[in-house]
Chain A
Amino acid sequence: MNRPDTSVEIAGIKLRNPVMTASGTFGYGQEFAEYMDLEKIGAIITKGLSLRPKAGNRTPRIVETKGGMLNAIGLQNVGVDAFIREKAPYLRTINTPVIANIYGNSLDEYRQVAHLLDTVPEVAGMEVNISCPNVKEGGIVFGTDPKAAFEVVRQVREATIKPVIVKLSPNVTDIVAMARACADAGADALSLINTLTGMAIDLQKRRPVLANVTGGLSGPAIKPVALRMVWQVSRAIELPIIGIGGIMTATDALEFLLAGATAVQVGTANFLDPAASQKVAEGIEHYLAENGIADVKELIGALRV
């Protein structure tokens, strides 16, 4: 049998396989080059970029919980200018699409960041973060109100001709309403889910473990929630979906494809195993070959309900 076709396309971005790295878990790519082949995955998604460098929250910023971890990094990043100056040149040498994750503290900032990245050749597309639970001013405000989401996506859409992916928060009552608002505003694709808001408590000290008190839960613990949301959105909305949430293995990734995702992102698993994303991609190809499936696209949305 020939090698199975693992390629997929998201909003015009051609991926050699459906595996991307989730924003905030993969730095700017270079950090992982020592441990894996960056040209064996579908795309690299950068740490969230803002107009100006951002300090982020106080420490402790992370804590492990049962089957997952909480983080409250607070979107610490080098800022869009430093990204273009210092990080993009390395990414140019890698033959893998790079998607810049962006966020702003205001509509205008979202717009400006998108505009600045619009002409950067290394950036194949943008993933708009409207779902960070750990910053007061931006992010989540846009991620929990469909009207606000519509407005931010519309602004970004106007600021760039590059593909626009919107990353959705699970911390809402109706994920489909959020997805629809983004679709109506001109999004090319949706990625979901971002982290679930949670907290951890130190009984001895009678204090929250994280300096930020609450944080975003990620890891295997959130996979069932993510699968459900991907499934709901894929049935209701026409846009391609990138499934995210607790993917540790190829099996996890394939389940997301069945639920309706065209691609997936590996996040927390990159921390446990810096080569996790490559292993997931290889595992998908192996599964296809083992099961005589010629094309990974046959699995997308193939869930029997």
Chain B
Amino acid sequence: MQFKSLVLSNTEVSPGYFRMRMTVPAQLSAARPGQFVMVRVRDAIDPLLRRPFGIYDVLILEPDFDGGSPQTCLDILYKVVGKGTETLSTMHHGDHLDVLAPLGNGFDLGKPGEEKILVGGGVGLAPLYFLAKELVKTDCVHLFVGGRTRDDILCITEFERLGIETYVSTDDGTLGEQGLVTEVLEKELTRRKGKASIFACGPHPMLKAVAALAERHGIPCQVSLEAYMACGVGACLGCVVPGKEHTEEAPDFRCVCKDGPVFDFQELQWK
């Protein structure tokens, strides 16, 4: 659906990273982890297009006065990378945004009771928190999170508050283990050999490495992709990724916005 949101807060949680809370219609409480929103930052032609953001959390705020009604809110976590996110970062409580949500397909939560491994890189952590909140109700959840430096490791205390065991790694060793998140993940997978499934979101090279690990260890794995997109509703075809059987002659392109953003890693071509 399309609606106007009121910005409630917009906080820099780490240098260059912001968390924004906005009001949304009550129907959004049915949004599923992995779904995303398209935000029109300003009613202007620069920035022109909407920007996609994973849903970090959906929550219902109780009224702060008698007779008030509860307000459904949605949080996004974003990194300032260009004009759109830069403009977004200057918004304050009381500003309005035009939003399309919820978009795309969410994660398949899998069998309750099974162990769940979340793997996030940088701002790719965003949809994993919303997912974690659901999973911890029935499952044992572990989080592997990586970034270039410690400033790229976001919001892990919130995951820890859910009782999730977290493994942190940074390229420069300023927080957690030094190295790639997938190296830490591989060590753990090799050590435990147990049944588990993976949910990953982050930069493409990380997802590719996670998919390779899932393949090698025979573990189910869903990945949530990021892509440039103009519309978010399956019309512009800007955000496509090749499906496993895709060839020039028999095209099988999937829209990240409409068919994803969450895919079983085995549906996609990782070449």
Contacts and interface: CB of A to CB of B under 8 A. Distances in A.
Contact of A219 (B40, B45, B83, B250): B45
A274 B231 contact: yes
Nearest to A30: B234
B50 A271 contact: yes
Given A27-B235, A73-B238, A272 B48 contact: yes
A76 B241 CA distance: 12
A97 B71 CA distance: 42
B229 A62 contact: yes
Given A69-B48, A275-B2, A31 B251 contact: no
A24 B229 CA distance: 14
Contact of A25 (B1, B47, B49, B236): B236
A270 B235 contact: yes
B48 to A, nearest CB: 5
Contacts of A274: 2, 100, 231, 233
Contacts, number: 102
B230 A69 contact: yes
A210 to B, nearest CB: 10
Given A69-B230, A220-B45, A272 B236 contact: no
Q: Tell me the dominant secondary structure on chain B's binding face.
A: loop
A63 B240 contact: no
A270 B231 contact: yes
Nearest to A248: B45
B46 interface: yes
B177 interface: no
A69 B250 contact: no
Nearest to A74: B237
A66 B228 contact: no
A64 B48 contact: yes
Contacts of A60: 228, 238
Contacts of A59: 227-228, 238-241
B50 A272 contact: yes
A271 to B, nearest CB: 4
Interface string A46-64: 0100000111100111111
A25 B235 contact: yes
A32 interface: yes
B48 A56 contact: no
Given A64-B49, A272-B48, A275-B2, A26 B235 contact: yes
Contacts of A275: 2
Interface of A: 24-27, 31-32, 34-35, 47, 53-56, 59-64, 66-69, 71, 73, 76, 219-220, 248, 268, 270-275
Given A73-B237, A274-B231, 12 more contacts: A55-B246, A56-B237, A56-B253, A69-B48, A76-B253, A268-B48, A270-B231, A270-B235, A271-B49, A271-B236, A272-B48, A275-B2
